[in-house]
Structure 1
Amino acid sequence: MGTYKAINLVKRNEGHIGPELFEMVEKTTPQPADGEFLVKQAYMSLDPAMMGWMTADTDSYIPRVELGTVMRSSGIGEVVASNHADFAVGDQVMGMFGWQEMALTDGTGVNKVDKKIPPEMALSVFALPGLTATQGLFGCGDPKAGETLVVSGAAGSVGSIVGQLAKAEGLRVIGVVGSDEKAGWIINELGFDGAVNYKIDDLGAKLDELAPDGVDVYFENTGGPIQNAVFERMNAHGRIVVCGMIADYTSAHPSPGPNWMRIIKKRLSIQGFTMPDHMHKAGELQAKLAPYVQRGEVKYRAHVLEGLESAMGGLSLFLTGDNKGKLMVRL
């Protein structure tokens, strides 16, 4: 009977993300019981939301990861042993398999993935990033042709898809990024109409230049100073979709939000959402997303780290902004 490696969470996120929060362990490879199957992971997804899952917070949209247990994550791999009627050896599958080389599952929340779809594309587009972007934009943002949309974290896995979907629907799209390289990528490769580099640009002046008629839809992924700058430029009946607040994930004192008076004056709609509320619609959302991908209207790039151990330091890339594209680990 063989063994495999896994990574457990052993300390809470209290403002710093690094390898010291984790521990590599070796486990005995299990044999599937009746109704179970064993997956050998090929790629694991790294997502900003993980930083929230590692805190002590018990009042959130998803249970925290308990200390001493395998770190939670989605991934894609191949079935290598099966006693499950619906999953056969050789199937490519995607699910919440955790930070480990092998995963035993009864199939709950696991979906088959056509082997014609490369694993990097599956995790970058048809997994959580694409589902989140599609549900958030269309389910909450109500985009209309001719409107102006601003998306923060625009070069990230979710933000980049949000912007491309909005462009395909005829909106003017402005992306907020953290480097000139990322600004060039979303404009020249993804077709965004403009970019704000929050690290060097005068946020207000740049938004006035790129969105002179104001902002109709704001897709919020990061929080930070850009939030107030966009909020002050929202048009009447504008919609703000609050998907992430990465600037506050490791902060002991979250930054204060904008004054609510503008919500009244401009009759704004603000909605927070998380994908666990909508996972029952995964198939429907993938079907909505697929035609955009097939028409070449949604592109992606993957930032691939090598080896299981690289996950322990990989999350810090979200805080430094050094990740370029969908962050994942190849096992």
Structure 2
Amino acid sequence: MTTYKAIKLIKRPEPGPVSPDIFEVTEKELPKAGSGEILIKQRQMSLDPAMFGWMSPDTESYIPPVELNTVMRSSGVGEVVESNHPDFEVGDRVMGMMGWQEYALSDGKGINKVQADVPDETVLSVFALPGLTATQGLLNVGKPKNGETLVVTGAAGSVGSIVGQIAKAEGLTVIGVVGSEEKANWIIDELGFDGAINYKTDDLRDQLTKLTPDGVDLYFENTGGPIQDLVVERMNAHGRVVVCGMIADYDKEVPSPGPSWVPVIKKRLTIQGFTMPDHFDQIPTLLQQLTPYVMSGKIKHRSHILEGLESAIEGLNMFFTGDNKGKLIVKL
């Protein structure tokens, strides 16, 4: 009998850092693929801020919470090792929702073949959830226009860094909000952003005013925090706010108050929240939008690799500390 490791969510997290006791590492018997099924050996697994919402008991969220005593939800990339499905063959490299486990049994729904000849970490850093989220949020929700000014928070993160680079390719002035000087230097020197704001050390109002002399047309929100009010104040008439994430509030029992609605009225702002599960059926189209940027060298990325399935448990807290440098990935 062959077994493999999986990690189950057994408790709901409390506010604050994630405690290891909400998870349970288990050994499961390796299944056989049944009719219409595929068995995937997962090679790399993505850690994403969205997981904090998935672990909560909130049944009114955009996706049902992970049920207790089931494998924790996540996306990954792997190889089909057994197939009884007409659309997949043994040896196919695939990506999709696979969970915190070394093997995943699937009926093929939500699993997509990887067509690009790039490393696994590039698949998860660019072509999986981060790149798809950035593409949908910026191009299809934000609708950027050449010559506009974009402010993106979490700009050195997996989504924010791609948002900024696509915006630069579309002719926008891009200002990124980050949490360290190293990250500020990276997004300017390596990714080509026009400016950076360190929310931990800079005078936020002064730096924002200096870097956006013509105001802000498009605001891509990944984090929340004090700069949110200031950016909304700087928005130009008919500006757009794309709300993708609020990591600053995910570990709080009571979220921080949002910006005043007075500027929303005065400037006729459009504010739209979005989540990727609403658009999973559009993944082939989103990949068609994203791929030309990547293949023409306009998208750079960096990955922060953790080793072994169990490293995912402590790895989640890096989203709060900011210790990760690049897309958080668990190598199995």
What TM-score, normalized to structure 1?
A: 0.99
1:20 match: 21
The correspondence of residues 24-173 of structure 1 with structure 2, limited to 5 A, is: 24-114=25-115, 116-173=117-174
CA distance in 2, matches of 1:13, 1:189: 37
* 1:109-149 Cα deviation digits (max 9, x unpaired): 10111372211111111111111101101111111111100
Amino acid of the residue matched to residue 93 of structure 1? V
CA contact (8 A) 1:159 1:221 kept: yes
Give the Å deviation of 1:324. Answer: 1.0
CA distance in 2, matches of 1:209, 1:259: 22
1:207 match: 208
CA distance in 1, matches of 2:148, 2:83: 50
Give the Å deviation of 1:213. Answer: 1.3
Amino acid of the residue matched to residue 49 of structure 2? P
1:194 match: 195
Distance 1:211 1:6, change over 3 A: same
The correspondence of residues 264-279 of structure 1 with structure 2, limited to 5 A, is: 264-279=265-280
Gaps of 5+ in 2: none
SS at match of 1:219: strand
What TM-score, normalized to structure 2?
A: 0.98
Amino acid of the residue matched to residue 265 of structure 2? I
CA contact (8 A) 1:36 1:82 kept: yes
SS at match of 2:220: strand
1:10 match: 10
Deviates more, 1:168-177 or 1:110-119: 110-119
Amino acid of the residue matched to residue 244 of structure 2? C
Q: CA RMSD in A?
A: 0.8
CA distance in 2, matches of 1:115, 1:241: 29
* 1:254-278 Cα deviation digits (max 9, x unpaired): 0001110111100100000001111
CA contact (8 A) 1:92 1:115 kept: no
- Between the two proteins, what is the percent identity of the paired residues? 69
CA contact (8 A) 1:18 1:315 kept: no
Amino acid of the residue matched to residue 228 of structure 1? D
Amino acid of the residue matched to residue 11 of structure 2? K
2:245 match: 244
CA distance in 1, matches of 2:270, 2:313: 38
Gaps of 5+ in 1: none
CA contact (8 A) 1:37 1:81 kept: yes
Amino acid of the residue matched to residue 205 of structure 1? D
CA distance in 1, matches of 2:271, 2:278: 17
Distance 1:115 1:289, change over 3 A: closer
SS at match of 1:278: helix
